[in-house]
Amino acid sequence: MEDNYEEFERIYDIKYQEKYGYFRPIISKVIFQYLDCGILANGFASVKCRNCKHEFLLAFSCKRRNFCPSCHAKRTVAFGEFACSNVLKKVPHRHFVFSIPKIIRIYFLFDRALLKELARIAWQVLSCYRRLI
């Protein structure tokens, strides 16, 4: 990725903007943080076990969910543990998935406010479903 990113950024407007929208500045920030993730030369903490005195270096991470696979996995596990112990009651739960048909996904890409409306409609559907069962 590091070898080709500058070229990708240079040709983005010409090749990809029409389909995926304008190149947001946050993209470069996320990419460079990902490339620096877990590299000791970019910063680390020294960790020492109080019991056995074993010591090792722990490289800083980018903490980028949804882009960096290792950081995303860590955050997913941490959130799951938090939700199970602090949020969810010890009762049966159901998992519902609402997907957006491919033909209308482009509207959500260019108008992010529509996602709020989608969440509201999904909540209405589930509320209606609960009343029926």
Tokens matching residue 74: 């860590």
8 within domain boundaries: no
115 within domain boundaries: yes
Domain span holding position 116: 94-133
- Alpha-carbon gap, residue 67 to 8, rounded angstroms: 17
4 within domain boundaries: no
pLDDT at site 16:
93
Q: Model pTM greater than 0.75? A: no
36 within domain boundaries: no
pLDDT at site 57:
93
102 within domain boundaries: yes
116 within domain boundaries: yes
101 within domain boundaries: yes
Q: From first to last of the 133 residues of the chain, give the pLDDT tens digit.
A: 778 888 999 999 999 999 988 898 888 999 999 999 999 999 999 999 999 999 999 999 998 878 889 888 988 999 999 998 998 888 887 888 888 899 999 999 889 899 999 999 999 999 999 898 8
40 within domain boundaries: no
Tell me phi and psi for residue 99, to 5 degrees: -110, 155
List CB contacts of 55: < 8 A, sequence separation 6 or more.
46, 47, 48, 49
Q: How many domains does the chain contain in total?
A: 1
pLDDT at site 101:
92
User: Containing H/E element for 58?
Assistant: strand 55-59
DSSP state of 1: -
Nearest to 67 by CA among 34, 101, 44: 34
